[in-house]
Amino acid sequence: MSTADQHHRPRPWLTVLATLLLYTTVAWAAPLDEPLKPLPPPPELDPQRVELGRQLFNEPRLSVDGSRSCASCHQLSQGGADGLPRSLGIKGQTTKVNAPSVFNAALNFRQFWDGRAESLEAQIDDVLQSPIEMGNTWPNLLQTLGNDPQYRQSFTRLYPDGLTAANVQNALATYERTLLSGNSRFDQYLQGNTEILEIEEKYGYQRFKDYGCIACHQGVNIGGNMFQKFGVMGDYFAARGNPSEADQGRFLITGDEQDRNVFKVPSLRNVAVTAPYFHDGSAQTLEQAVEVMFKYQLGRPPNPEDTSLIVKFLKTLTGQWQGKPL
């Protein structure tokens, strides 16, 4: 064999190396087969209706006294919540439960902690007429918006029947459906970038699965798709003390004893930036919240090491909005 032939002859170890590199590249790019899935991109919706909804979301005239808007309790700069155990309504009143994040709310199977609203539109209708939150009526709000030439013209242009309660709800809900906070580090991990998580964050995710947290915090929203009793393995409310009507949860809606202390399982997306936690806002830190879950949902004594690892994992769930981390 000539020197030239030897030079061009394939070398087995190079072939193996090339195959390994190709495999590694493909594996890195391929989505992982995990029970949790990355957030979908925001839906393609009428941009003019989205913009009208954005204006209404920030409109304090939705409340009867012009003091509160949707954005008052759902601040996009604070993870879509307000950082308070319970929010403030009109006339300085305090709401009965903690305000959940508006980010990714469109992916929940029900709205409110007790699940009484089956759609974003129904949730908007409830809040507007709540004597604590907005304290308004639809006839009064429609008159208020109708007196504003900009709103009147916008609804006339975008909806065949103009300014109606249903169309106000639709515009707001259309905007809220765009509030998806994708591209969290965990989303990128699920999409195949396995190097983006640190080893302890990966261990935390494994603990999250091993302990069964994923049995309730599941699906694309990592929660928000089922009801569960708060205190499966112990009486959380007796230990906390000072029971309130809101602690009865879904029982207030159905009257079924099996629904007492039952709530919609919250989404864990952006949980690191939406303290305090639970319907009562009683847990000030993620560590406290995880320890409560260990004790009252799993029936296990809190394990400091595993608590720390799970918290590290939960912090990878913080997504982005308009290209910036929440």
Across the range 50-67, mean pLDDT stands at 98
pLDDT at 11 over 50: no
DSSP-derived secondary structure letter, 160: T
Superfamily of domain 185-325: Cytochrome c-like domain (1.10.760.10)
Distance (Å, rounded) from C-alpha 136 to C-alpha 131?
Answer: 7
How confident is the prediction for the chain on average, in pLDDT?
92
- pLDDT for the residue 33: 87
Do 185-325 and 47-176 fall under one CATH topology? yes
pLDDT of 281-301, one tens digit each?
999 999 999 999 999 999 999
Higher-pLDDT residue of 159 and 23 is 159
- pLDDT for the residue 31: 82
Fill in the amino acid letter for 100.
Answer: P
pLDDT at 107 over 90: yes
* Share in percent of the chain as helix, strand, coil (round to 5): 50, 5, 45
Confidence label for 15 from pLDDT (cuts 50, 70 and 90):
very low
Active site residues: 133
Going by C-alpha positions, the residue among 283, 288, 279 that lies closest to residue 228 is 279
- pLDDT for the residue 88: 96
Percent above pLDDT 70 for the chain: 91
pLDDT at 64 over 50: yes
pLDDT at 25 over 80: no
Across the range 227-245, mean pLDDT stands at 96
Across the range 205-212, mean pLDDT stands at 96
pLDDT at 21 over 90: no
pLDDT of 148-190, one tens digit each?
999 999 999 999 999 999 999 999 999 999 999 999 999 999 9
Across the range 44-53, mean pLDDT stands at 98
Distances (CA, A) of 6 to 2, 10, 19: 6, 9, 22
Going by C-alpha positions, the residue among 263, 262, 253, 271 that lies closest to residue 312 is 271
Across the range 9-38, mean pLDDT stands at 56
Structure tokens at 50: 């989205």
pLDDT at 24 over 80: no
Confidence label for 29 from pLDDT (cuts 50, 70 and 90):
low
Going by C-alpha positions, the residue among 165, 169, 186 that lies closest to residue 177 is 169
pLDDT at 6 over 60: no
- Residues 177, 43 contacting (CB under 8 angstroms): yes
Cβ neighbours for 293, distance < 8 A, ≥ 6 positions apart? 213
Confidence label for 32 from pLDDT (cuts 50, 70 and 90):
confident
Domains of the chain, residue spans: 47-176, 185-325
Structure tokens at 297: 């949902």
- pLDDT for the residue 3: 44
pLDDT at 243 over 90: yes
The CATH class that applies to domain 47-176 reads: mainly alpha
Across the range 215-237, mean pLDDT stands at 97
pLDDT at 30 over 90: no
Confidence label for 262 from pLDDT (cuts 50, 70 and 90):
very high
- pLDDT for the residue 13: 42
